Amino acid sequence: MAIESKGHESYTRTSLGGFAVPFFLCYSMLGPIFQRELSTLPRRPKHYVARVVFLVMLFAIICTTWLLLAGVQPVQNAGDLARFGVLIFQLLAPFQMIVLLFMAALAGCSAVSYEKDKQTLTLLLMTSLSDSQVVLGKIGAGLLWTMNAFLSSAPIVFLMPLLGGVSIEQVIACTLVTACTLIASCSLGATVAFWREKTFQAIAVTVLIIALWLALGELVVAGWIPGVSPSVAAVISPLRAVWDISQPIPQPSVFPVPFGSGNAVLACIFMGWLAISLMLISIRQLRVWNPSRERRNVAAEWESDTEVAVEGERVVKSWKSREPRAMWNNPILWREMCTWAYGRKVLFIRIAYLLFAGLIAIGLQQTLSTGAALTDAGFQEQLVPTSVALLAPCFVLSLIMINALAVNSITNERDGGSLDLLLVTEITPASFLVGKIAGVLYVAKEMVIVPLLLCFYLWWGSGLTTENLIFTCICLLVMDVFVAMLGIHCGMIYYQSRLAIGTSLGTVFFLFLGVATCMMIMLMFRGSFGRQLAPFLMIILGGGTGLYVALGNRNPSPAITVTAFLLPFLTFFAITSFILRDQELTVFSTITISYAFATAAMLVPALSEFEFAFGRGRLAEEES
């Protein structure tokens, strides 16, 4: 055995050549946690499916844009292909950055939170593993899927220079900036997960930090931070860095550098410094944060006016007690609203969200007073109103937070072992689901109320008509209930917590990101609904298939099947109606009816097949 091992090591070192020593050094530093994930990941079919789905999405965007370009104007010479290459690169580079940025953060966060939910992180700390091996191993495990998807899409991006309009230096710079950003994002998610005890807290804090990070870049571009040049945004903001690289004429460098694109090199240095800093913080504070103080034993308090009874040399004191709290008829709703079911640190999440909403309100006030947009004309087309560009990120962030809270409300019950106890009580499916939905909306009340207040503020400043205010508020409430039910539905049909959280958040994220991508393509090739429907059929059918696999594959029903394939088409119809303007009633009717029906399609099976939906018929491969 020793001879075979030595021969294998010698063969590996020979095949790697001069890179053998650095490779084995990095491999040993990551530790057995990363080695186990590296050896088990190729055995999972979902690993290959997810990578193929990501490539199909990129290919669908390219084909849709080509069909729209060929339908608008004839492609006759190399100049037309060069313009198409620039458009594709400006679509794919930000799309890939945004998708992988959030996916890397959630992957790093879930890799650590999964250990905490199963209460195995403390066992890892009791082994001979060093702090750096635990931290770097978890970050490396979270980066595996994201980096696989990123590297698999690299050949598509590197084909862009063949069309013209894009240089190979731009592609290399975009690739390096994206790779460094993914490492920093995954390190951020893992650091927050090591810090926070609850999964929802870790996910919410990570998403809020990324949202504030991107908002900081937009504030720098707008010139709202005194003494900071707008060109600095191309260094500190990954989205602005990629957008600057994709321009035919990039911005001048903040600081002169002797090689490469100046802002791209500085952005890579900044992202690398950020990733290393987060790793060092995690390694330093690992055993300070874990085990959490919430899980440590706290000494019981004695009553101040206790009576001491002496029995020989033994002193007996009475325990401090309090009056029992009255419980409502629906104990699920009572627990969600009257207890700290998701930890007391939810208050910090609310404060951070209010800070982000305050920045949006300041932007709205600036827009209403001066009529100036926050972004330059090159980054966003003026066909989209400035108020929509400001409110849309706040709306999307609110829906993501509500969905994360909803899915964690189910996975926490399962991971804590209390779900099976609930199923043997007298709680009915209706009381459970109503309690969970109402409780989630109550805990996330800031995410529900603040977007409505921003709409009222815009209406008060004469930026929104009364009719459109009513339409917007009703649509927001319908979407809030939809994402809450979506999170509960995914938590019910997927037994594994990581799979449930990833599917739920992935569905919401790709739904709104797909809407944003479709709007960008439509703004580039504005036209009638009939002319745009045929090129977008691939995206619509692909989105319908993905929704059916995510929502109805494990608990199928005719209503979910109809919803999965009809919802992308109706969403596309609503987008087209919004861009064509003066069709607000059409957009309102389409959104409310389609998403209300989707909510009912998920709610009815949960009421009729309560026990099956909670995973009693789970498949064996989910345990792997």
In tens, the pLDDT along 589-601 reads: 999 999 999 999 8
Which residue, among 58, 47, 49, has the nearest Cα to 514 in the 3D structure? 58
Res 530: pLDDT:
58
State how far Cα 328 lies from the chain centre. Answer: 35
Distance set, CA 146 to CA 221, 274, 410 (Å): 29, 18, 26
Strand partners for 370: none
Task: Please tell me the predicted confidence (pLDDT) of residue 302.
Answer: 44
The tokens for 395 are 């709306």
> Which ranges constitute the DSSP H helices of 159-236?
160-163, 168-195, 199-222, 233-236
List, for residues 494-514, the tens digit of each pLDDT value: 877 778 888 888 888 877 777
Task: Find out whether 443 and 336 touch, Cβ atoms under 8 Å.
Answer: yes
| Global pTM value | 0.82
Least confident of 5-9, 181-185, 418-422, 592-596: 5-9
Tell which wins on pLDDT, 37 or 301: 37
**Collapsing DSSP states into helix, strand and coil, what is residue 296?**
coil
Question: Cα dihedral sign for 130, 282, 100, 160?
Answer: negative
Q: How confident is the model at residue 56 (pLDDT cuts 50, 70, 90)?
A: confident
pLDDT of 546 higher than 60: yes
Whether pLDDT at 604 is above 60: yes
Q: Among 339, 458, 322, 479, which Cα is nearest to 387's? A: 458
pLDDT digit string (tens) for 444-453? Answer: 999 999 999 9
Average pLDDT in the chain: 79
Distance CA 67, CA 328 (A): 59
Residues in a beta bridge with 310: 315
Say if residue 321's pLDDT is above 90.
Answer: no
Supply 360's token pair: 């949006």
Distance CA 222, CA 211 (A): 17
What would the mean pLDDT of 217-221 be, rounded to a whole number? 86
- For a pLDDT cut of 90, what percent of the chain falls above it? 20
Residue 281, burial from CB neighbour count under 10 angstroms (0-12, 13-18, 19+)? middle
608 contact partners, CB below 8 Å, separation of at least 6 = none
Element (H, E) at 239: helix 238-245
DSSP state of 316: E
Can you tell me the distance from the alpha carbon of 86 to that of 97, in angstroms, rounded to the nearest whole number?
Answer: 17
State the average pLDDT over residues 148-175.
88
Q: Residue 457: pLDDT above 70?
A: yes
Asked whether the beta carbons of 155 and 74 are under 8 A apart, the reply is no
pLDDT tier for residue 570 given thresholds of 50, 70 and 90: confident
More confident site: 246 or 320? 246
Q: Mind listing the pLDDT tens digit for each residue in 528-544?
A: 555 666 667 777 777 78
Tens of pLDDT, residues 86-100: 888 988 888 899 889
The whole-angstrom separation of Cα 319 and Cα 322 is 10
pLDDT: which is higher, 260 or 80 = 80
Lowest mean pLDDT of 239-248, 434-443, 607-616, name the range: 607-616
pLDDT of the residue at 258: 52
